[in-house]
Amino acid sequence: MQDITPRLTFINLLTENHPQAMAWVRGGSQAPRLSGLVKFYETPYGGVLVEAEIFGLPNIAEAGSSNFYALHIHQNGNCSQNFTRTGDHYNPTAAPHPDHAGDLAPLLGNQGYAWAAFYDKRFSIQDIIGRSVIIHSQPDDFTTQPSGNPGTKIGCGVIRFAQ
């Protein structure tokens, strides 16, 4: 008999259920081919399961390439003016970087494609509705205050309730 573990619960959420929130991410002037979807699922463990599938990352033409890209939730859900209006990282408790709620696991791009799934208990679905998901041009260094020195914003999507 197989015990139910969080992993099995997460697999079921990803394959059998609909997300409660989503962000359609599009690229800006530095990565116009970038696009993808970030999904947010409520879990029975009090946290959120995040799944991201991104296409058109800047290393698409580099054979065998693997590059990391910072992935963050930003305060404002305004992707206009080449993403300059998204504000700072979502940080409701004024925690130092990288302990704030907006600092997510990085994406690993392989010839322009990235897929990631991870669990986070620092926010709820309701906390992030109307905020933005940002993909940065560089990896997060997990040290530099206040945001990890992740480079420029190359992709943005507003988090909305799923239909």
Residue 143 located in a structural domain: yes
pLDDT band at 3; cut points 50, 70, 90? low
Counted domains in the chain: 1
| Host domain of residue 140 | 6-161
The rounded mean pLDDT for the chain is: 92
pLDDT single digits (tens) 121-140: 999 999 999 999 999 999 99
Mean pLDDT confidence for 5-14: 91
Rounded to two decimals, what is the model's pTM?
A: 0.93
pLDDT single digits (tens) 80-97: 999 999 999 999 999 988
Give me 154's structure tokens: 């190359």
**Which CATH number does the domain housing residue 139 bear?**
2.60.40.200
Residue 138 located in a structural domain: yes
pLDDT single digits (tens) 21-75: 999 999 999 999 999 999 999 999 999 999 999 999 998 777 666 789 999 999 9
90 closest CA partner among 119, 131, 39, 138: 131
Residue 139 located in a structural domain: yes
How distant, in Å, are the alpha carbons of 1, 68, 103, 140 from that of 143? 44, 16, 12, 8
Residue 1 located in a structural domain: no
pLDDT band at 2; cut points 50, 70, 90? low
